Amino acid sequence: MYVLYYSPGSASMVVHAVLLETGTLHQLQLVDFGRNEQHGAGYLKLNPTGMVPTLVVDNVAVQESAALVMLLAERHPEARLAPPAGTSGRAEWLKWTVHLSSHLGGLYRQWFYPSDLGMEDYSVAMRDAVRMKIEGTLERIDGHLAQHGPYLLGNAFSSADLQLTMYMRWARNMPRPATTWPYLNALALRVTARPSWIQMCEIEGLHDWAAAQA
Ligand SMILES: N[C@@H](CCC(=O)N[C@@H](CS)C(=O)NCC(=O)O)C(=O)O
């Protein structure tokens, strides 16, 4: 049995969707950001960074959304969330999984948490710089999908597409929402139609974002 420590719409949502893709038994444990529970002593024992997600796997707390996605894909090969080890698509899947989390996820972290840098808010110049980096990354991924899509790995859906869709959703209130890039939007249309995504949104109460219908 897995236990997912989550907050609705946060970086835990991809792990939640992956758990639903695997069909495996899991429990959800809300970490209430409104009550600052992520920084409470109890939660910090599970995740010293004070962030979600944390997944308890065989009684061990594991952190970092990308690591959890890879771990679950490895433990549940029947869900076909990743190309098998040793096949040609595996390196691409590893690359996208890590790149999305470290690069795009890192940029969003900067965008949403000026407090990480000890600031209450950014200057206009700083906010513009982070926004441009996020938009540049989305532009590049859209170009990749135009050439090699419809999914990140071509014709095969993988967990990396769930990650990408989560990061697209986070731009919904930004000056340029991710759905304005045509190939990204097309990918999000496919991913958000999956039963796992629909169920995850239902459970987490997320009804404020949709890809534009073609
Ligand atoms: N690299 C981490 C980032 C996790 C992260 O930034 N989580 C945010 C929500 S999206 C969080 O827990 N924020 C609460 C806080 O920092 O106080 C991951 O992908 O797991």
Fold for domain 2-79? Glutaredoxin (3.40.30)
What is the structure's pLDDT at 103?
98
Which of 5, 14, 35, 51 should be mutated for ligand 1, with most atoms under 8 A from CB? Answer: 51
Q: How far is the CA of 116 from the centre of ligand 1 (A)?
A: 11
Q: How far is the CA of 204 from the centre of ligand 1 (A)?
A: 16
Find out whether the beta carbon of 169 lies less than 6 Å from any atom of ligand 1.
Answer: no
The mean pLDDT value for 135-153 works out to 98
Mean pLDDT for the chain overall: 97
* Residue whose CA is at the smallest distance from ligand 1 atom 20: 64
pLDDT at 214 over 90: no
What is the structure's pLDDT at 1?
87
Question: What is the percentage of the chain residues whose pLDDT exceeds 90?
Answer: 98
Which ligand 1 atom minimizes the distance to the CA of 66?
Answer: 19
What is the structure's pLDDT at 213?
87
Find out whether the beta carbon of 9 lies less than 6 Å from any atom of ligand 1.
Answer: no
Q: How many C-beta atoms lie closer than 10 Å to residue 43's C-beta?
A: 21
> How far apart, in Å, do the first and last CA atoms of the chain sit?
39
What is the structure's pLDDT at 190?
98
CA-to-CA separations, 39 to 34, 42, 43, in angstroms, rounded: 11, 8, 7
Which of 46, 52, 97, 107 should be mutated for ligand 1, with most atoms under 8 A from CB? Answer: 52
Fold for domain 88-194? Glutathione S-transferase Yfyf (Class Pi); Chain A, domain 2 (1.20.1050)
Q: How far is the CA of 172 from the centre of ligand 1 (A)?
A: 18
Query: Would the CA dihedral through 93, 192, 135, 115 be positive or negative?
Result: negative
Asked, colleague to colleague, whether 2-79 and 88-194 share their fold, the answer is no
What is the structure's pLDDT at 26?
98
Find out whether the beta carbon of 65 lies less than 6 Å from any atom of ligand 1.
Answer: yes
* Residue whose CA is at the smallest distance from ligand 1 atom 19: 65
CA-to-CA separations, 129 to 96, 107, 201, in angstroms, rounded: 23, 10, 31
For the stretch 105-130, pLDDT in tens is: 999 999 999 999 999 999 999 999 99
What does the domain layout of the chain look like in residue ranges?
2-79, 88-194
